[in-house]
Structure 1
Amino acid sequence: MSSLSEADYRCKHGDTICEIRVYEQEVIVVPIFLLASFLVTLVFVLLMRFCPERVERMRPRASKSTSRRELHGIDAPPGINVLEHESIALDIPTSYSTFNPTNAYSSKNLSVPVRTLAPPPDPQPQPFQPSFTPIVQPRELPRQRLPESFNLVTPLPVAFSLRSDSSVSLYRARMENRNVVLRVLNDSADASERHNFLGFASFLAQLGPHPFLPELLGVVSLRAPLVTVVEELENRDLLSLLWRSRQEHVDPPCEITERRIFTMAQQVASALEFLHSKDLLHGNIRARNVLVSKDYTAKLWGLHGVHTRKDQGGTQKDDTSLKKWQAPELLAKRPASQSSDVWSFGLLLYEMATLGEAPFAEIPVNELLQFHQRGKSLKKPSNSSNALYTVIKGCCNWKDQDRPSLADVSRKLASGEKSASDKVLKAPGTINIEQYLKEAGYGESNSYTVF
């Protein structure tokens, strides 16, 4: 018996409810199924459009036998400078995972000892015991490929650069109504460069925020190209700012006063104290590793050496371009300490007072240690007041135990700022780049890159 004949047989004429029961599948079940399918499809399309990262997580993972590698786990922000001498081993041959928040730093030695060649005459300083542990996991930015996902993307020229990192391209862009700098890893980068890129970002993310460290905003690590994002600091690095202040008719105006030197120095000292509070030594304090905002706020950078020494168990390569800023104990192959950073901080003040001259410019690198051993000191810059020069000399004491703590330095800087002059500092002539590189101790294999 057919359904129609069955309805005619079972239902009285005009009994609608009875007829619906007979045709329940055609009238109710099928339309509801079609409507549900439409809603599911609509939700998935909206997710693909507005939340691509969630769709990525919903997709099934590739099996271990597949040859294609996928990024896993790193949610970390940015960096500005190029990566130097970084080496992060692949934890898993078929993944790019580098971020392990539970034990990423627990077994690493974060101190900066340098190979000892002979016992020093003074008592050995106590070993530097690190206590730096991961803090937070930063966010993964919901971005896709450039330039579709960022607004107003333009290449960022590198000032005063002899050679840039060939694996990283720099861009200026707009993100969330603010200017940012994008460090984009090129598609040609190999596995080691990808791990270096993300490993350094992971290290920076775990330092935590500080008002005088560049603000880390996020990464794109779940799909190529890999990107780290940081706030844009319009005046770029302090060294190029000091050099521009020597030039006439600069647009926008670039004016350095003694009061501004005291203010910016306090900001750098605050950031350095923050690192020391985490038992981390910077090891490379100088003007090229300080970044400056549009309103002349100084922010300490150049943290690549910190990450590298942590990753390599405290070892440090012998780099001639560092020696003009290194404390005597480091030149003598003795372990570094917080007072070693204080020495370099004194030379940063010298750079600021001279508007970008290299310290110990007339002394060859291989004669620096003997120069220090003879008790020689930096000459007073013509632009420096007695108060500023006193701080410089105190930081550059031969014996590390005679150098002031950063807290003492900060107090002296705050005191000096109150009586500092607002007169714009001047220096004769512009900087000759080749001569500067020679006076600063750069070898042929070294380069000066701002970012």
Structure 2
Amino acid sequence: MSSISEADFHCKPGDTICEIRVYEQEVIIVPILLLASFLVTLVFIFLLRFCPEKVDRVRPQASKAASRRVLHGIDAPPGINVLEHESIALDVPSSYSTFHPPNTYPAKNLSTSVDTPSFPSSPPPQPFQPSFKPIVQPRELPRKRLPESFNLVTPLPTAFSLRSDSTVSLYRARMENRDVVLRVLNDSADATERHSFLGFASFLAQIGPHPFLPELLGVVSLRAPLVTVVEELENRDLLSFLWQCRQEQVDPPCEMTERRIFTMATQVASALEFLHSKDLLHGNIRARSVLVSSAFTAKLWGLHGVYTRKNQGVTQRDDPSMKKWQAPELLAKRPASQSSDIWSFGTLLYEMATLGEAPFAEISVNELLQFHQRGKSLKKPSNCSNTLYTIIKGCCQWKYQDRPSLAEVKRKLVSGEKSASDKVLKVPGTVNIEQYLQEAGYGETNSYTVF
């Protein structure tokens, strides 16, 4: 029976309420549904216009992956520098969207079985067992702070660089009235590289702030391009700074004194002690891994290797460019320990005293372990005091048990600073890049460029 016949049958003529009940679906329900749909659409458009971050949180994963945008108006600079190229081969899952760090960072045993010169009969150091557990996530920058809205964005120039395939581009910018460095992941990066990029930013936040570690100011992780924002240290890496101190009449002035060496070394040692307190080994202590502010404050960087060694399934390449700074036990493929970082810290002091010379420059990488086994040590630089050289020799002892603790090194540095000279260190001549690469162990097979 039709609705019309039902109305005629049930309702008396002129009974409006009765007719509305019969036609309830057509008169009430359908208009309400249409009005609700309109309001939902209007709210979504409003959120999309004014609060895109909230839309991204509810957007399906597939649509997020497909909505990558190009960083307009900025051309990636060639090459790399100390903030950019720290990548180590990773074996990680192929999907990663935002910060979901593992609950723990298990250690990877770096020891392998090789034929090497015999070590003293003392027992080898135990494999390092980290207990660091991440609990903090980095600050997510809002939509208005995406790279195209940063002020004064320019490619970050580099003074010394090794060319390598890299998925990260660096830019200088202004944010919140301060100079910052933008580490921008290129759109060509695959899922593994995105996972590593965001995982490293999360790791920096989890370490926590320290006055002598570069400050992580925030990330952009909810939409492409992915960006990590770090404070800028105007004098950049310590190696370039030391080389600049060799030059005459540089602007701004660059003067290195023995007192400044003690001060900056104490700052680096403080940052390293902070990492060790969290059961984290640095593994890459050298001048290229230290950044210098305009006030000559030294801050320890080069932390990507720390991050990768704390993830399961990480593989670390055998990098010949690090061997001149590595302790003998690492050259012999034995487990790393905190004493291994102490050795590298001694070579860093040597770099500072010589204004950027490569340690063990006269020894080839293949002969380095035998050189250490014979009890040889770093030569005393001409500008180096007995106090500073004693610390260098103490850090670079063949037996890891004979090396001082980091707390003891800090005490000696603080004590030495009180009597250190304020005379400006001078080293004749500028650095020959080709010669330095050979002496530092990079080898002829590495392509290089100077900017």
TM range (shorter): 0.7 to 0.9
Distance change (3 Å), C-alpha of 1:311 and 1:419: same
What residue in structure 2 maps to residue 240 of structure 1? 240
Distance 1:240 1:391 in 2: 24
Where do 5+ consecutive residues of structure 2 fail to align?
1-13, 15-30, 69-81
**Structure 1, residues 5-38: CA drift from partner, whole Å, max 9, x if none?**
x9xxxxxxxxxxxxxxxxxxxxxxx9xx99xx99
What residue in structure 2 maps to residue 180 of structure 1? 180
Contact kept? 1:286, 1:344, Cα under 8 Å: yes
What residue in structure 1 maps to residue 227 of structure 2? 227
What residue in structure 1 maps to residue 93 of structure 2? 90
What residue in structure 2 maps to residue 429 of structure 1? 429
Distance 2:205 2:354 in 1: 34
- Matching residue's letter, 1:115: T
Q: More deviation in 157-166 or 407-416?
A: 157-166
**Structure 1, residues 223-278: CA drift from partner, whole Å, max 9, x if none?**
11111100001000000000000001111111111111000000100111111111
Distance 1:135 1:114 in 2: 29
What residue in structure 1 maps to residue 390 of structure 2? 390
The correspondence of residues 143-222 of structure 1 with structure 2, limited to 5 A, is: 143=143, 147-222=147-222
What residue in structure 1 maps to residue 113 of structure 2? 116
Distance 1:282 1:58 in 2: 38
Contact kept? 1:117, 1:333, Cα under 8 Å: yes
- Matching residue's letter, 2:83: I
Distance 2:39 2:201 in 1: 42
Q: More deviation in 320-329 or 308-317?
A: 308-317
Contact kept? 1:145, 1:224, Cα under 8 Å: no
Q: Once the 2 structures are TM-superposed, how far is the Cα of residue 391 of structure 1 from its aligned partner? A: 0.5
Determine what percentage of the aligned residue pairs are the same residue: 76
Q: Once the 2 structures are TM-superposed, how far is the Cα of residue 280 of structure 1 from its aligned partner? A: 1.1
- Matching residue's letter, 1:440: A
**Structure 1, residues 75-99: CA drift from partner, whole Å, max 9, x if none?**
xxxx9332412425226xxx52363
What residue in structure 2 maps to residue 15 of structure 1? none
Contact kept? 1:114, 1:316, Cα under 8 Å: no
* Counterpart secondary structure, 1:436: helix
Q: Once the 2 structures are TM-superposed, how far is the Cα of residue 164 of structure 1 from its aligned partner? A: 4.9
Contact kept? 1:81, 1:302, Cα under 8 Å: no
What residue in structure 2 maps to residue 20 of structure 1? none
Distance 1:187 1:39 in 2: 33
What residue in structure 2 maps to residue 404 of structure 1? 404
What residue in structure 1 maps to residue 256 of structure 2? 256
Distance change (3 Å), C-alpha of 1:179 and 1:165: farther
* Counterpart secondary structure, 2:143: coil
What residue in structure 1 maps to residue 289 of structure 2? 289
Distance 1:344 1:306 in 2: 15
- Matching residue's letter, 1:80: L
Distance 1:412 1:55 in 2: 56
Contact kept? 1:217, 1:231, Cα under 8 Å: yes
What residue in structure 2 maps to residue 438 of structure 1? 438
What residue in structure 2 maps to residue 27 of structure 1? none
Count of residue pairs brought into register by the alignment: 403
Q: Once the 2 structures are TM-superposed, how far is the Cα of residue 192 of structure 1 from its aligned partner? A: 2.3
Query: What is the TM-score normalised by the length of structure 2?
Result: 0.82
Q: Once the 2 structures are TM-superposed, how far is the Cα of residue 116 of structure 1 from its aligned partner? A: 3.2
What residue in structure 1 maps to residue 10 of structure 2? none
- Matching residue's letter, 2:107: N
Q: Once the 2 structures are TM-superposed, how far is the Cα of residue 328 of structure 1 from its aligned partner? A: 1.1
The correspondence of residues 357-372 of structure 1 with structure 2, limited to 5 A, is: 357-372=357-372
Q: Once the 2 structures are TM-superposed, how far is the Cα of residue 117 of structure 1 from its aligned partner? A: 2.3
Distance 1:145 1:414 in 2: 42
* Counterpart secondary structure, 1:382: coil
**Structure 1, residues 401-429: CA drift from partner, whole Å, max 9, x if none?**
00000000000000000011111111010
Q: More deviation in 427-436 or 179-188?
A: 179-188
- Matching residue's letter, 1:354: T
Q: More deviation in 161-170 or 262-271?
A: 161-170
Q: CA RMSD in A?
A: 3.0
Q: Once the 2 structures are TM-superposed, how far is the Cα of residue 100 of structure 1 from its aligned partner? A: 2.7
Distance change (3 Å), C-alpha of 1:346 and 1:68: closer
Contact kept? 1:236, 1:291, Cα under 8 Å: yes
Where do 5+ consecutive residues of structure 1 fail to align?
1-5, 7-29, 72-78
Contact kept? 1:239, 1:288, Cα under 8 Å: yes
* Counterpart secondary structure, 1:349: helix
What residue in structure 1 maps to residue 78 of structure 2? none
Distance 1:57 1:98 in 2: 10
Contact kept? 1:343, 1:395, Cα under 8 Å: yes
Distance 1:175 1:157 in 2: 19
